[in-house]
Amino acid sequence: MKKSLLLFTIISFIHAGPSLAAGLYFSPTGGTYAKGSTLKVNLGVNTSGENVNAVQANFSYPTDKLQFTSISAGGSALTIIAERSGGGGYVKLAGGTPNPGFSGSKHLGTAYFKVLSDSGTAALNFMGDSAVLRNSDNQNVLAGQGTAKFNFSASLPSPTPSAPLQISDVSASPTLSDVSISWTTDAKSTSVVEYGLDTRYGLATSSAQLTTNHQLSLTLFLLPGITYHYQVKSSDGTGVEVTSPDLTFSIPGTTTAPSPSPSIPLPARPRPDLTWIIVSIGLIATIAIGTSIFLWAKFKKSRPPIL
C-alpha cells in the first residue's frame, strides 16, 4: 500500500511547479561492448542544491540491441523503493526518502543488460514521465535528462577475472526502538539493507561509503513482536554486487491478547451403582419366577379331574 501511494504521489507531481533545477544522468555515458557481454549502467540524480524526497527515473532502450536482465537499488539514496522493473524497451525505478530528504549528486540504482548485437549503437534516454520532487512542497524540479550511447562489436579481450566479493558474519541486534544490522566483507564495498514483512522487502537503508565492516540502523515501520525479513548487499568499486540469504529479526515485546473468560465447571454426573443394578435385576427375576409357579399351582388345583 505504501509503495503504491508513493508511486501515485510521484506521478501526480510530474508537471507541477515552475522551479526546475535537478537532473538525471547515466554513468557511464558510453563505451564499446561485445555481443553476449553484460552492460551495467548506473542511474544518478543531481539535485543542484535542492532537498528532494522522491524520484521517478524511467528510461528507454532498444530491444534489438539490449536485453534487460535486472535493476538493483543497492547503495541508493532512496530508502523506500516504490517501483523497480524493466523489460519491453523500458526500465523504471521509483522511490523516496523521508523528510528532510537528500541533496547533491546521488546514486539511485544500477540497470543490467545483455548485449544482443555485434555491431551498431544503442541509446538510453530518460522519459518524460520521470520526476524529482522537492522536499519542501513536492514540486517537480527536474530540468535535465541525460543520455547514454554505447557501441557494440563481435568480441573484446577477456578481462583478468577477479575474486568474487564475500559477505560474512551477518547479524541483527534489535532493541525497542531500532535494529542494528552488521556484516563484514573481504573487500571495501557499499552497504545496503533491504527489509520488510516478507521476502519482497520494500524498505531499505544504505550507505555509499566503502568499508569492510558494515553497520546500518533500521528505524522505520518497526513494531514489537513482529518478525521481519531482511537481506544485506554490498558492491565494490568494480561493480560486483553480492547479496546475503534471507534472514529474520523480531523487535522485543508482544501484543497482549485479551484473557479468555473463566469457564464454570459442570457438576459431575453420578455413576450408576453396579451392585444395586445386579440386585435389582435378581429381585425382579425372583418375583417373576415365584409368581409364575404360584399361578400354575393354583390353576392345576382348580382344574376338574378328567373322566
Check whether residue 139 and residue 197 sit in a common domain.
no
pLDDT of residue 2: 44
Set of cell numbers at residue 12: 501526480
Residue with cell 501526480: 12
State the amino acid at position 220 in one-letter form: L
The predicted-structure confidence for 171-196, as pLDDT tens digits, reads as follows 999 998 899 999 999 999 999 999 99
Partner residues linked to 228 by β-bridges: 249
For 238, other C-beta atoms within 10 Å of its C-beta total: 12
Domain's final residue, options 118, 153, 188: 153
pLDDT of residue 7: 46
Instruction: For residue 112, give its domain range.
Output: 2-153
> For residue 282, what pLDDT is reported?
54
**Stated pTM of the model:** 0.51
The total of other beta-carbon atoms located within 10 Å of residue 255's CB is 8
16 DSSP 8-state letter? -
Helix (H, G, I), strand (E, B) or coil at 195: strand
Q: What pLDDT does residue 61 have?
A: 97
How many Å separate Cα 178 from the centre of its chain? 18
- Please report, for the domain that includes residue 195, its CATH number: 2.60.40.10
Distance CA(148)–CA(128), nearest Å, equals 16
59: CATH: 2.60.40.680
Q: Do 9 and 147 fall into the same domain?
A: yes
Q: Residues 242, 165: contact at Cβ < 8 Å? A: yes
Q: Is the dihedral of CA 91, 97, 98, 100 positive or negative?
A: negative
Which is it for strands 142-145 and 22-27: parallel, antiparallel or unpaired?
parallel
Question: Which residues partner with 248 through β-bridges?
Answer: 229
> Looking at the structure, do residues 125 and 197 belong to the same domain, yes or no?
no
Question: What is the rounded end-to-end Cα distance, in angstroms, of the chain?
Answer: 114
Are 45 and 130 in the same domain? yes
Same domain, 84 and 208: no
User: What integer pLDDT is reported at residue 12 of this predicted model?
Assistant: 45
Cis peptide bond N-terminal to 161, omega within 30:
no
> Which pLDDT value is given to residue 232?
96
Amino acid at 181: I
Asked whether residue 9 is domain-assigned, the answer is: yes
* Domains of the chain: total: 2
Count how many Cα atoms sit within 13 Å of the Cα of residue 243 in the half-sphere of its side chain. 12
Please identify, among 250, 267, 287, the residue that sits at the C-terminal boundary of a domain. Answer: 250
Query: DSSP code of 192?
Result: E
User: Are 37 and 176 part of one and the same domain?
Assistant: no
From 250, 270, 293, the end of a domain falls on 250
C-alpha cell at 56: 521517478
Residue 260 lies in a domain: no
Low-confidence ranges of the chain (pLDDT < 50): 1-18, 257-258, 261, 264, 266, 274-276, 278-279, 307
Region label for 157, one of left (φ > 0), alpha (ψ between -120 and 50) or beta (otherwise): beta
pLDDT of residue 289: 56
